[in-house]
Amino acid sequence: MSNLNLLELKNVSKTFVSGFLFKKKVVAVDNVSFSIPGEKPVIFVLAGESGSGKSTIARIILRFIKPDKGEVLYRGRNILTFNSKELLLYRREVQAVFQDPYSALNPVYPVDHILSLTARRMEVAQGKEIEEVIDEALISVGLRPEEIRGKYPYQLSGGQRQRILLARALIPRPRLIVADEPVSMLDASLRAEILNLMLDLKAEHRVSFLYITHDLSTASYVGDYIAVLYKGSLAEVGPIDDVVSNPYHPYTQLLMSSIPIPDPSKRWQEKIAAPEISVAREPVSGCKFYDRCPLRKEECRRAPPPLKKVGNRHVACYLY
């Protein structure tokens, strides 16, 4: 069963320690498990507010950092045990696109040179073939090679730069692209085009995405599945349409009801309680959402709720 998964995280934890004399521990990722199915290409959304551990999980998957505990399985094999040859293969198949298209491209090279570096490093093509591979990648992201070749990053708009980053990610013909907030710096009109491009790449190039975002409207537009993080732990995982229309976890409920609806005839009627009026925060040993949860019970304080299967999804809440 698990062999079918493209990517699987099993009980992954990561704690950052800072400070010199007084060590401060921050649990960025706390016992997180989820899997991206591998039968067909999907867009899997990892959602959460800032500081929820989304990007730390991305960095663990990309092997920029190692988890303290747990396993990351790529098509059934632990990426932490890969040798250098296997790692090159993994890096070809799992690519990344980041938030800031303005800083992710080296400003001193024309973009086709940047793309050719990827083709060479990843050993995708050699000699003349490299040019063909680059043109093909540019065309798949909706750019005209003859217009783009020779241009420097500063000569391109934000949307074009984000397309270049997607083209670069496509060059090694990946199976999975980890996209960390790829549209959050773009204007609405450009954002729609990049989101559509992700949908097209999924359908035509059969690439899956791990789409990491805090923006639930764009997530629900492109996503197939969603995992909702809260302070480093998973609150809820499941098919995105069900989670959006009928969230189970009280945090997911709060999150979904806070998405501003772009329709003045559907304004929020009732108020939500201002969550942050108290400042004191005692360390919680139970559910991390305890102090903000409207439905909390005594047992929620005792131990963190395990992620349980409820219908077609997984929820970490004692209500279920």
Partner 1 sequence: MRVLLKIEELTVAYESDSQRLLAVNNVNLEIFQGEIFGLAGESACGKTTLANSILRLIKPPGRIIGGKVIFDGVDLLSLDENELQKIRWEKIAYIPQASMNALNPVLRIYDQLADVVRAHRKDILDEEIRKRAEELFVSVGLAPEVLKMYPHELSGGMRQRVIIAMSLILNPKLLIADEPTTALDVVVQRGIIQLLKDINKKFGTTILLITHDMAVHAQIVDRLAVMYAGKIVEVGPVKDMFEKPLHPYTQMLIASIPRAGEKRRLSGIPGLPPDLRKLPPGCLFHPRCPFRILGRCDSIEPELKQVSKDRKVACHLYDR
Binding site for partner 1 (CB under 8 A): 49-50, 157, 159, 187-193, 195-196, 214, 216-218, 220-221, 241, 244-245, 254-265, 267-268, 271-272, 274-279
Q: Which is nearer to partner 1, 49 or 86 (CB)?
A: 49
Contact 182, 168 (CB under 8 A): no
3-class DSSP state for residue 294? coil
Nearest to 237 by CA among 316, 303, 155: 316
DSSP output for 234-278: EEEEEEHHHHHHS--SHHHHHHHHTSPPS-TTS---SPPPPTTS-
Nearer to partner 1, 237 or 255 (CB): 255
- When the beta carbons of 171 and 212 are compared against partner 1, the nearer one is 212
- Separation of alpha carbons 113 and 86, rounded Å: 26
Shortest CA distance to 12 belongs to which of 50, 39, 46? 46
Closer CB to partner 1, residue 57 or residue 195?
195
Residue type at 277 in one-letter notation: I
- Look-up of token digits 């999150």: 255
C-beta atoms surrounding 194 within 10 Å: 24
Quick one: tokens of 172? 């090694």
Measured from the CB atom, is 107 or 260 closer to partner 1?
Answer: 260
Residue tagged 């190692």 (tokens): 66
CA torsion 101-103-109-115 (nearest 10°) is: -40
Q: Confirm if 174 and 203 have CB atoms less than 8 A apart.
A: no
| CB nearer partner 1, residue 89 or residue 158 | 158
CA 92, chain centre distance (Å): 18
Rounded (5°) CA angle 96-57-42: 60
Q: Which residue's CB is nearer to partner 1, number 72 or number 244? A: 244
